[in-house]
Each structure stands twice: as structure tokens, then as C-alpha cells.
Amino acid sequence: MSDWTWDYNTDDHAHVTGGLPPGVIAEVERIATELSVLGRDAEAVGRPTGRSGGLREFDILGGRGFINFLVVPRHECVYVCGITWYE
């Protein structure tokens, strides 16, 4: 079990989640929890493929949107930086 956590990349969570349906927010938080369980291995999840680290992108809800996240090993944290949702 990983000691890693996840958080939004801003103190103002509404800046990232504002206006999104509750189901979308719940799915993003579920994925963020799973990424934090992966720990450092989360650096290779999503796009861009073929390299690890940096800002990552991961599809949500069957391609109806995606999240941008950053894995910071020094903080042992996955930060959700942005959510794009196609209504």
C-alpha cells in the first residue's frame, strides 16, 4: 500500500472543478485515488506515451473528457491540475 496522496493543484478547488457535474468530479477523484496508490509509477500513466514525468493527461468517462495531473515524488502526491469535460 502506498503512502502517497492526491490533491487539487490549487487551494481553490472550485477553480478546477467549478461547473462540473457531481458525477464527473466523483470520477476524477476516484481516478486520482487510484493514481496515488500507484505512487511513483503514476508518472508513466496516460499521455504523453513513451516517456514518464511532466504534466500527464488521462481520459475520463470513455473519452468524454480528460484530466491533467502532475506526479511529484518529492511530495509523494498526485496533483490534479485541470479537468476538461465535453458536455
Could you tell me the residue ranges of all domains in the chain? 5-85
Query: Would you give the DSSP letter of residue 47?
Result: B
Taking Cα atoms as reference points, which of 36, 86, 35, 32 lies closest to residue 61? 86
At residue 52 the predicted structure's pLDDT band, cuts being 50, 70 and 90, is confident
Percent share of the chain, pLDDT over 70: 99
Please enumerate in sequence order all residues whose Cβ is within 8 A of that of 50, keeping only pairs 6 or more positions apart, or say none: none
Question: If you average pLDDT over residues 27-45, what whole number do you get?
Answer: 96
Mean pLDDT computed over 54-77: 95
Mean of pLDDT over the chain: 93
Edge to edge, the sheet with strand 65-72 lists 5-8, 77-85, 65-72, 56-60
Residue range 49-55: average pLDDT? Answer: 90
Is the pLDDT confidence value at 1 over 70? no
